[in-house]
Structure 1
Amino acid sequence: MSKLFKHINLLALVILVAGVQACTKTEQVDYEKQPANKIAAYRVTNAQQELLGAIDHTNNLITLYIPYYTTLDYLVAAFTLEDMSSTLLDATGNEIDMDAGPAPVAVGADPVKYIVRSKEGVERTYSLVQKILPHPDALVMSYTGATTGVFSRPANGVLNLTGNLESISSNGKFYLTNKATGEVNSDWITITSIKQGAQYAMATKISQNAIAGEYDVKLVHQGRSSNLAPLKLTYQRPLLNALLSSASYAPGDTIEFGPNIGGVFLPVKKAYIKVIRGKITPPAGFPSELYDTPIEMKIVSQRRNELKVIFPQMPAGQYTMNVNTSAPNSEGYTQYTAAGFGFYADYEDATGWGDGNIFCTVSLIRFTVK
C-alpha cells in the first residue's frame, strides 16, 4: 500500500511541474502598428466663441455644429494631428501649412475633404460637414412694401424683407420655383445685408439674369426655412442714366453703358444718338440736317447688364444747356421722355419695348465730342 502511495505522489509531482511549465511559457505574437494618420482636433479660430469639430475616426467625419446666431461667412480653422510626423493635405493633394492653416471654407458649403498622410505614406480622408443649430421658433418672413395680389420686382432690382431672423448672418439662400415650368433656381437672389431690430430687415439683390415669370419662393436661413408669398419677376428697361459733365468721346471710341438698378438690356436691334433742336446748344456749325435724326452707333456686344457701342461720326465741340424731360412709365418707374442729347435703343420685337427708348443722356451742363 505504501508503494502505491509513493507512485501516486510521484505522478502528482510530475503533473504539477508540467502544469507550472505550461503556465510560465511565453508565446511571441507579432504586433501590427497602426498608421499615424488621424486628426486629433479641428477648431474654428474666427468665431465669437470656441467652435470645435466632433471627430469620428470610424466614419472619417469632422462634424461642426454652428449656432444660428453666429455671424460668420467663412470658417477659418486650425488642425491638430495625433502624430506631428504626419502631413495634412487638401482634397487635391496639396500640403497644408499647419501654421497658416487651410483655406477658409464658406459657411453652408458642401462637405470639404482633408487628407492625413502618415510618414509611411498611408492616407486617411476626412470630410468636414457643417450643421446649423437653428433658433427654436419658426422663421416668418414677408416682403417689405407688399400689398394685396402678387408682389412684383424687376430683374437687377432690389428686394427687401422683414421677419424674425434672430441673426445678422448672410448665410441664406432663396429657392425660386417657376409656377409654369416647375424649374428651381437658387442663384438669382443674393443677401446683401441684414440689420437687427424688433423685426430684422434683410436687403437682397435680384440678378440681372433672372427670368421673368411668377415664382413660389422659399428662404432657407441658418437652419430654418420660410415659404414666402409668390413673387413675380419682370423686366424693366434702363432708365435715368446720364454721363458726367467731364465725359468726352471721339468718333470710333467704345462706350460701355450699364443699366440703372432695376433695369436690364434686352436684345437691342439698333442704338443711336439724337440731338433735339431747341433742347440743347450744339457747337457752332452743327448741320441742321442732323437735328432730330438718328445718328447710328455700331453695337459691339450686349448683355443684360451691358451695352457696348462705337461712338459715331458727329461734329466736335461742346454740347451745352441740355434739357431733359421725364415721366412715370406704365410700370410706375420714372423714365426719360425727351432729351436734348439722348442715347436711344430700338429693341427686338419679341421684347415688346418697341423703338425710341432713351436709356441715357448727357450732363445738363455740357458734353464734349473730341
Structure 2
Amino acid sequence: MNTIRIQTVLLCLLLAAMCVLKSCTKNELVPYEREPLNKIQEYKVVNNPQHMMGAIDHETNTIKVFIPYYTNLDFLIANMKLDEGATLLRADSTVINLLEDELDPVAIGDTVKYIVRSAEGQYRTYTLTQEVLPHTDPLAILGYGNQERMGAFNFELHTMEDGDYDINANKIFYLFGNFYSSSSLGKFILTNRATGATHEDYVRIASVTPQAENRYVMTARIASEALYGTYDVTLEHQGRSTILPPVNISYKLNFGPYYSSSAAFAQGDTIVFDAENATFAKPKQLYARVNKSTREGDVPPNFPEDLYGKNLDMKIVSATRSQIKAIFPDIPAGLYKNFQSNVINLFAIYEEEAGFEEGTLFNTEVKIAHPSGLGFSVLPKQP
C-alpha cells in the first residue's frame, strides 16, 4: 500500500515538473494596444479679457466652458490643440486647418460638435456645452416701467403687488434690477394662462445698461407676433431666474408714421409702413387721396381736376402686424405741400380682429401715414 502511495506522489511531482518546464520554455507575446491619437488636448476661449479654458472629459468626449456672469459675450472664439498628427473635421468631413483657419465662432448658449481624426483614421466626436456661473445674489427685479409711467424724476414702477401689467404687442418696456451684467442674452418665458402654451420668443431684449447703486435697466420689446392674452412670466438671465408680474398683452392700432419734407416716392414704388410701439390689423384696402387746397402751388400744376377727392388705390404687397408694403399710386410727379394736413394723405381700412383695444376703428378710414406739411415729393416712374 505504501509503495502505491509513493508511486502516486512521484507521478504527480513528475507531471507538475513537466508543466512548469513547458510554461517556462514557451514565450507568448501579448500585443500592446496603443491608444488612438484623436483627442482634443486644449480648448481655450480667447475673446474674453480673461481667457477661459474648456473642461475636457475624454471618457464622455465632452468639453464644457464655464462662463462668468459678468461677461458680455455674444460668441465664443476659441483656439484648440489636438494630439500629434490628428486632424479636425467639419460635420461635412472637410478639414479645418488649425494653422491657417480659425474655428467658427460659437453663439453663447449653443451646443456644437467637433470631429477629430487620428493619422490612422480613427474618429472621435466631442460635444461642446456651456454653463453660466451666476452671481451669488438672487435675481431681484424692482418692477416694469414704460414712458407712460414715467414721473418727474424717475419711472413709476409696476411691481408684483400691482397685479397684472397691461402692455401692447410691439411695445418697448423696461425692467429695473440687480442684473450685475450688461449682457443682453436673457430669456423671457411666457405661459398663457388660458391654454398653458409656453412661448420663449414673445419678448426680445435690446440692451442691459448699468445705473446707480449697482442697479441695471433692461430694455425689451413685446414681439408684434405675440398672441393677445394673459401670461405668467419667468425671466432667465446669466444663470439666474425670477418670476415677474403677469402681463396682459393686447393690440393697439398704429397711426403714423410722420414723413419729413425730405420723403420722396416714385410712381409705382413699394412704400413700406412700419408700426412703432403698436401693431397693424389686417388691411382690407390702402389708398391715397389728394384734396384741392385753398392755396396755390400746393400740388403740381399738371394735377388733373378729376383726381381730386378720389381714393387712389395702393395695391397691398404684404402685411404683418409690424409692417405693411404697398405700391405707391401713379399720380403726377412733383411737390405736394400738405397744407393743414389735408392736401395729400394715405389711408387704410382694417378688418375687425380680436385682441385690439376697445374703441379701435375697424372697417373705417384711418390714416396710415402723415406726409409733411412742408412738402412731400412724388418722383417720376423709374424705368
- The normalised TM-score by structure 1 is 0.83
Which of residues 317, 335, 345 in structure 2 aligns to 1:300? 317
Give 1:342 shift: 1.3
Match of 2:62 in 1: 61
Mapped to 2, the partners of 1:262 and 1:30 lie a distance apart of: 73
Give 1:226 shift: 1.1
AA matched with 1:194: V
AA matched with 1:367: F
Distance 1:320 1:182, change over 3 A: same
**In terms of mean alpha carbon deviation, does 360-369 or 146-155 score higher?**
146-155
AA matched with 2:174: N
Give 1:239 shift: 2.3
Match of 2:7 in 1: none
Mapped to 2, the partners of 1:159 and 1:91 lie a distance apart of: 41
Match of 2:352 in 1: 349
Mapped to 2, the partners of 1:66 and 1:250 lie a distance apart of: 52
Mapped to 2, the partners of 1:149 and 1:75 lie a distance apart of: 40
Give 1:255 shift: 2.6
Mapped to 2, the partners of 1:134 and 1:221 lie a distance apart of: 9
Counterpart check, 1:106 vs 2:78: no
**In terms of mean alpha carbon deviation, does 183-192 or 277-286 score higher?**
277-286
Match of 1:254 in 2: 269
8 Å CA contact retained: 2:281, 2:352: no
Q: C-alpha deviations, 1:30-58, integer Å up to 9, x for none? A: 11122111111111011121211111111
Output the aligned Cα RMSD. Answer: 2.7
Mapped to 2, the partners of 1:221 and 1:157 lie a distance apart of: 21
8 Å CA contact retained: 2:61, 2:125: yes
Mapped to 2, the partners of 1:248 and 1:101 lie a distance apart of: 46
8 Å CA contact retained: 2:167, 2:248: yes
Mapped to 1, the partners of 2:202 and 2:93 lie a distance apart of: 34
Which of residues 205, 210, 233 in structure 2 aligns to 1:191? 205
Q: C-alpha deviations, 1:71-101, integer Å up to 9, x for none? A: 1111001111122x11012334332221333
Distance 1:294 1:240, change over 3 A: same
AA matched with 2:169: A
Match of 2:195 in 1: 181
Mapped to 2, the partners of 1:105 and 1:34 lie a distance apart of: 30
Counterpart check, 1:210 vs 2:226: yes
Unaligned runs of 5+ in 2: 1-15, 150-156, 355-359
AA matched with 1:238: N
Which of residues 279, 282, 289 in structure 2 aligns to 1:264? 279
Match of 2:288 in 1: 273
1:350-369 matches, cutoff 5 A: 350=353, 353-354=361-362, 355-369=364-378
Give 1:304 shift: 2.5
Mapped to 1, the partners of 2:118 and 2:256 lie a distance apart of: 64
Q: C-alpha deviations, 1:244-273, integer Å up to 9, x for none? A: 32334444x133223242122221000011
1:63-142 matches, cutoff 5 A: 63-83=64-84, 85-99=85-99, 100-109=101-110, 111-141=111-141, 142=143
Q: Percent identity?
A: 39
Unaligned runs of 5+ in 1: 1-14, 325-338
8 Å CA contact retained: 1:45, 1:78: yes
Mapped to 1, the partners of 2:20 and 2:210 lie a distance apart of: 81
SS in 2 for 1:218: strand
Mapped to 2, the partners of 1:188 and 1:202 lie a distance apart of: 16
Distance 1:26 1:342, change over 3 A: same
8 Å CA contact retained: 2:163, 2:245: no
Give 1:190 shift: 1.8
Which of residues 335, 350, 362 in structure 2 aligns to 1:318? 335
Q: C-alpha deviations, 1:308-341, integer Å up to 9, x for none? A: 22222434432115323xxxxxxxxxxxxxx432
SS in 1 for 2:353: helix
Mapped to 2, the partners of 1:244 and 1:357 lie a distance apart of: 20
Which of residues 233, 238, 256 in structure 1 aligns to 2:254? 238
8 Å CA contact retained: 1:48, 1:70: no
Mapped to 2, the partners of 1:365 and 1:353 lie a distance apart of: 28
Counterpart check, 1:226 vs 2:235: no
Mapped to 1, the partners of 2:366 and 2:61 lie a distance apart of: 61
8 Å CA contact retained: 1:160, 1:204: yes
8 Å CA contact retained: 2:336, 2:343: no
Counterpart check, 1:163 vs 2:172: no
Distance 1:277 1:179, change over 3 A: farther
8 Å CA contact retained: 1:114, 1:125: yes
8 Å CA contact retained: 1:279, 1:323: no
AA matched with 2:285: K
